[in-house]
Structures are given as C-alpha cells and as structure tokens.
Structure 1
Amino acid sequence: MSPYFKHVKEAWQRRHHPNMLFLFYEELSKDLAAVVRRVATFLEKDINEEQIEKLCDHLNIENFKKNKSVNLEEVTKLANGNLSFIRKGQVGNWKEYFDEEMTQQAERWMADNLRDTDLTFEQINT
C-alpha cells in the first residue's frame, strides 16, 4: 500500500518481464472480458466464453461489493458501520470528492512522482 509510487514505478520498470502483467483499472472498466482473456493468456489457461461470462459476472462491481472476502466488513464496522471498502467502481469518481484546489494538488503530486518515468494514467472523462 505504501509507498505507492515506489511500488508502482518498480513494477512498471519490470512490465516487460514474462512474469509481470501490468493492468489498469480503466482497462477493466472499458472491457472486462478482454482483460479476463488477457489474464488467462498470461496464466497460460484455456478459457471458454461461458467461463469468461461467469468471471465477468463475478467481478462485476455490484457483485464484487457484496463479496465479504474483499469488502473488509469487519474493518468497516469498526470505523462506522455504514462504510464500504469497495466504492462505486467508477473511473474518475474521485472528482465528486475533490474541489479544484485538491484536484490541482493531486495532479501536481502525480506529475512530480511520475516525472522520471514514461508511465501515465489514462484520463477518462466520466
């Protein structure tokens, strides 16, 4: 979890290694089935369309939010009881929480931390 950029940049440097698969959440949001196929290929697993469909249903954000294994229910109960670890699953949803100053601050933070790399995060309008 931390330090975020150190971990991300280290992985990005190894993105061409045969044992590294680098994915972006935006890819999942655009075409989950394509990402499932890509992961299956990476893992050298044969997968049919029915399995892809089942996986996509299982990984659908609404079903994912209901999965007690990933939603950290016990932790969120301690915090407030009404929180969910998994939020909306919408690319760019952070904009609903940031004002202009916070947005500029986050963009500077990203630019500063990615200055020495060719890694970019896709900007998708929501």
Structure 2
Amino acid sequence: MENMELPPRPKLFDFHGVSMTHYFTDNWENIQNFQARPDDILIATYPKAGTTWVSYILDLLYFGQTAPERQTSLPIYERVPFLESDFHILPPGTELADKLSTSPRLIKTHLPVQLVPKSFWEQNCRVVYVARNAKDNAVSYFHFDRMNQADPEPGDWNNFLQRFMDGKMVFGPWYDHVTGWWERKQTHSKLHYVFYEDMVEDTGRELDRLCSFLGLSPSAEEKESVRGGVQFDIMKKNSMANYSTVPIMDFKISPFMRKGKVGDWKNHFTVAQSEQFDEDYRKKMKNTTVQFRTVV
C-alpha cells in the first residue's frame, strides 16, 4: 500500500452552479436516479462537520446491540455508504447503498440540498443534517485537504481561507449549504438539524434528541454504551471509524480525525483574518435565521 501510485489531485469545475470534482460527478446518472426507500435515513453535512460522528452514532443506535460484529469487521464507509462518491478504489456509493442488507439503510451525502436525488423527498425519508460553525469547519477542511489526495491541493492557509470565503470548495460554499438545508427544514417535517457545537457540549442531550426524532427508545445502558463508544478519542483510535484503512489519505500529514474541538479556529486565524471573515460572514448570512456559535 505504501508504494501505491496515487492519482493526481483532482481539479475543481463548475457543476450545476456548484464547485465539484469528478469523484462526485462521474456516477451522476445513477445518483440522480437512486431509489430511496421510505425507511432510509440520509445523513447530510457539509464536509468536515461531524459526518462520521453522526454516522457512527446512528449505526450504534440501530445495530450496536443486534449486530455487534459490524463494529469490528466493517469500516464505517461500508456501513454508511457515501452516496455520490466514486473513488474507483471501492464500488460507487450508489452501488454500496443498493447492496446494504440493513434496515433502515443509513446513507451519507455532502450534496447541497438542491442536488439530492428526488426520491429521498418523494419517499419522505428522515434526514439528519449536521452543521458546524464556519471557522472551525474551514480549519478542519484545510487539514483534511492537506492529507486527502482525492481533494484539490489546498495551498497555504491564507489562500485556502480566501477560497473558502469565495465558495470555491468541493460541494460549493459552506454558506449556501447550511442555509439551503435550513430552509428545507421549514418544509420537510422529517429533517432534524443538529449543530456540531451542541454535540460537543452535551452528547447525551443530543443523543436524546436524535432518538426522539428517530422514534427510538434505547435503555439507559444502551444509550450510555453509545455515548461512550462515540467519544472522540475512542473513535480516533478505532480503525473501523477513523478511515486509516483508506489509501488515499496520508495520516503522516494529518489524521482524518484531528481534534474534534470547538474553537480550534483561534489557533489558525490571525486577528486580521478573523475580522475580515466576520465581516464577509455577516453579509453572506444576513438573510437567514440559522445561528452558529464559534465557542462553547
């Protein structure tokens, strides 16, 4: 694996008005025609906003007791397929999702709301959307792009931050993503919008909210076992959850799960960058009611 020839990093291009790379558009016809089932649960996020964390929580809630062997034998990306992915080292996400034998099927996506396959809305599927404040999200995305060969070259932090503000990121602007899904929540009753910061602050409380949204009533012991299993430091060491089995990610540069903190942006942003970012943020977010916090 060490000597595996890595593909060149992909280039961004405009795809239906959103910046994308070919890894997420190569299989587009099958993505758009994907047949959701009424009991499917879609886990939607902007990249690096807590996707794996919530995927793991849901997988444990549904299958932790009934199929414990999954936890040690199947990496999370096979248990919760990444719908639009086509990395050519695994089958495309649509194929992995079609092959899932579990019920409900847990499926993840980073697509902005307008590009999600229609069948998820037609089948009235439940959706869990996770949003993370823009500053921490940008920092996490930067470190991810440094180590992930399947994303465009990040450049230095200053250039990356500018590109983040310009929305020239895979899956488009953070601003449009979080607000687009927030708007959809107003019309789609089965959409649960979770804030990463709330999960860090009180995982137990957010677990309770999730269970009540999903109609689950685990025992206190089950809940405690899930809460324990999804602590950041435990997941970071868990090869079935931390993506260390994926050859396109170079953990020597940065681990897939780096810190999982709120407020780490303060170690990256200069005062000037922070002020410029805040001013730009106010303009871009002035027409939405969704509120974020950058510290807990």
1:57 equivalenced with 2:228 (yes/no)? yes
Q: Structure 1, unaligned stretches of length 5 or more?
A: none
> Is the alpha carbon distance of 1:113 and 1:69 closer, same or farther for their aligned partners in structure 2, counting shifts above 3 Å?
farther
Determine the C-alpha separation between the residues in 2 that align with 1:18 and 1:46. Answer: 20
Q: Distance in 2 between matches of 1:106 and 1:64?
A: 31
Q: Comparing both structures, which one devotes a greater share of its residues to strand? A: 2
The CA distance in 1 between the partners of 2:212 and 2:248, in whole Å, is 35
Residues 27 and 35, structure 1, Cα contact 8 Å, conserved in 2: yes
Per the TM alignment, residue 70 of structure 1 is displaced from its structure 2 partner at its CA by: 4.3
Where in structure 2 are the equivalents of 1:1-126 lying within 5 Å?
A: 1=47, 2-3=171-172, 4-16=174-186, 17-73=188-244, 74-77=247-250, 81-124=252-295
Greater helix percent: which structure?
A: 1
Q: Does the CA-based 8 Å contact 1:114-1:120 persist in structure 2? A: no
Cα distance between partner residues in 2 of 1:104 and 1:67: 38
TM norm structure 2: 0.39
What amino acid maps onto 1:13 in structure 2?
A: E
Q: Which has the larger radius of gyration?
A: 2
- Root mean square deviation, CA, Å: 1.9
Unaligned runs of 5+ in 2: 1-46, 48-170
Q: Number of paired residues?
A: 123
Which amino acid in the other structure matches residue 76 of structure 1? Answer: M
Identity %: 24
Deviates more, 1:96-105 or 1:61-70: 61-70
- What is the rounded CA distance, in whole Å, between the counterparts of 1:117 and 1:101 in structure 2? 25
Could you tell me the TM-score, scaled by structure 1's length? Answer: 0.84
